[in-house]
C-alpha cells in the first residue's frame, strides 16, 4: 500500500471456520392428549427448546404434519395449529376434536440453521384425541353369569356379539370359583 510518498506493507490474516449445524439439546416432546368430550376454545402444548447453534446463527424451526409444514396452505391442519416460536407452544384449535375420524396426529418438530439447511434435528411427537369414556360395554340381553354345580366338566357359551368397544380389540376371560 502506498500513500504516494511511502510504501507500507500490511498483512491481513483471515481464518476460515467451518460453520457447525445446530446442536440437539436433547429431550423429547411428550404426546399431547385432548379429551374428546372436554371442549375448550384452544389447547396450549409446550414444545420446549430442542436446538442451539454454536455460532448463534438464526435457527429455523418448523412443525410438520403429514410431511408438510403446518403453516403451508396445502396442510389440512393449517387453520387448527399455530406454532409460537417465542413462547415455545403449539396452539391447537378445539375443532381438532371433530375434524374427522382420525384421532392420532403424528407430528414432527424440526430445526436447522441458515448455513446448514440439509442438517436438521427432528423430534417426533403426537397429538391424540382420546375418549376416556370409551370402555367396553355389554348388552343387557345376555346373562353374563351362569351358576352351576357339577363334578365333571361343564361347557357353556356366551354370545360375544353383545360386547362392544369402539375402535378397540376386546379380550374375553372366564373367571370362576370352586366351592
Domains of the chain, residue spans: 23-130
90 phi-psi bin (left φ>0, alpha ψ -120 to 50, beta other):
beta
Q: What is the pLDDT of residue 174?
A: 61
Q: What is the pLDDT of residue 163?
A: 64
As a whole number of angstroms, the distance between CA 110 and CA 24 comes to: 11
Q: What is the pLDDT of residue 144?
A: 47
As a whole number of angstroms, the distance between CA 142 and CA 144 comes to: 6
Q: What is the pLDDT of residue 135?
A: 56
How many CB atoms are located within 10 Å of the residue 19 CB? Answer: 13
Q: Which residues of the chain, if any, have pLDDT below 50?
A: 141-144, 146, 179
Q: What is the pLDDT of residue 93?
A: 93
Q: What is the pLDDT of residue 142?
A: 47
pTM for the whole structure: 0.64
Strand boundaries in 32-175, DSSP class E = 32-35, 42-46, 51-52, 59-65, 68-69, 81-84, 89-93, 104-113, 121-130, 137-138, 163-164
Q: What is the pLDDT of residue 153?
A: 63
Q: What is the pLDDT of residue 179?
A: 44
Q: What is the pLDDT of residue 168?
A: 61
Domain 23-130: CATH superfamily, name plus number: Immunoglobulins (2.60.40.10)
Amino acid at each position: 500500500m502506498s500513500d504516494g510518498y511511502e510504501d507500507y506493507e500490511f498483512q491481513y490474516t483471515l481464518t476460515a471456520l467451518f460453520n457447525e449445524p445446530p446442536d440437539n439439546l436433547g429431550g423429547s416432546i411428550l404426546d399431547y392428549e385432548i379429551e374428546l368430550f372436554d371442549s375448550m376454545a384452544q389447547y396450549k402444548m409446550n414444545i420446549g427448546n430442542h436446538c442451539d447453534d454454536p455460532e448463534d446463527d438464526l435457527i429455523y424451526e418448523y412443525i410438520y404434519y403429514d410431511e408438510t409444514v403446518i403453516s403451508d396452505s396445502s396442510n389440512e391442519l393449517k387453520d387448527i395449529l399455530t406454532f409460537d416460536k417465542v413462547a415455545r407452544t403449539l396452539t391447537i384449535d378445539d375443532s381438532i376434536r371433530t375434524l374427522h375420524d382420525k384421532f392420532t396426529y403424528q407430528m414432527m418438530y424440526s430445526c436447522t440453521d441458515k448455513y446448514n439447511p440439509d442438517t436438521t434435528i427432528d423430534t417426533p411427537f403426537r397429538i391424540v384425541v382420546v375418549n376416556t369414556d370409551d370402555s367396553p360395554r355389554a348388552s343387557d340381553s345376555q346373562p353374563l353369569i351362569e351358576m352351576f354345580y357339577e363334578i365333571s366338566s361343564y361347557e357353556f357359551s356366551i354370545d360375544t356379539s353383545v360386547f362392544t368397544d369402539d375402535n378397540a380389540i376386546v379380550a374375553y376371560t372366564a373367571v370362576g370359583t370352586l366351592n
